[in-house]
Amino acid sequence: MTSRLSPTLVLAALAGAFALSTVAVRAEAAHARVRAVYVAHLTAMNAKVVGSKTTGEARFEIRGGDLVIDIKVRGAPPDITHWQHFHGFKDGSAVTCAAPSADKNGDGIVDLIETEPVSGTTMVPFDDAPAKMDVAHGSYPKASADGSYTYHEMVPLKTLRASFAKAFGTRKIDLDKRVVYIHGVPADTKLPSTVASLGPIPAHVTLPIACGRIEIVDR
């Protein structure tokens, strides 16, 4: 005796199988989109000079072939542009944010140059085109009247790694071996002549106002 399924049952079975398959594909795609998450909690630096405590968070997600960068800052000097980057060592050595003890010349301010022994060099800018790695000429975010701003960029990892290799001799971004620095005080801020900067860039532009070490929180 041969049993025959009704067309309705066949269609229902096929629909159920398709639905389960779609859910599985979507779940797999979602997993592929977010491969790793990194976060840096930003704490204030040079608060006496800044006149406020600059804090915030930098979040990095590797989604498929892209690096998604989100930064939220509050308490920054208002109505000015703030440079922001991750710093590190070319050899991938671990870094830390510069503490007040990094003020080796005793002027009461930790300048950019004084961060280098523990934080390394400026690497990737968080401007309008991070993969170009044009630190001095990118367009950086501007704080609002209340000293806050947000930043969001999605960068192709392949392009970023190529630029990084050209600049530093390695394609390894190594986010968990980097620190994020936020920079900048108004041009009329009184700074001692001992506050150093990078080349011809004014010290007001590069003065560190917040820093956070990048840590992996999900993989």
pLDDT above 70 for 7 = no
For the purposes of burial, counting CB atoms within 10 Å of the CB of 197, is it exposed (0-12), middle (13-18) or buried (19 or more)? middle
User: Residue 45's closest CA among 120, 127, 108, 116?
Assistant: 108
pLDDT above 50 for 143 = yes
Average confidence (pLDDT) over 160-189: 97
Residues 79 and 193: beta-carbon distance below 8 Å:
no
Task: Write down the mean pLDDT value for the chain.
Answer: 89
Secondary element (H or E) of residue 55: strand 55-63
pLDDT above 60 for 43 = yes
On whether the 36-218 domain is CATH 2.60.40.200, my answer is: yes
* Domain extents in the chain: 1-33, 36-218
| 107 secondary structure, DSSP code | S
Stated length of the chain: 219
Categorize the per-residue pLDDT at 30 as very low, low, confident or very high, splitting at 50, 70 and 90.
very low
pLDDT above 80 for 22 = no
Give me 8's structure tokens. 């309705």
pLDDT for 63-119, tens place per residue?
Answer: 999 999 999 999 999 999 999 999 999 999 989 999 999 999 999 999 999 999 999
Higher pLDDT, 22 or 134: 134
The pLDDT value given to residue 34: 72
The pLDDT value given to residue 4: 56
Say how many Å lie between the first and final Cα of the chain, rounded: 56
Q: What are the Cα distances from residue 189, in Å, to 83, 204, 207?
A: 16, 7, 11
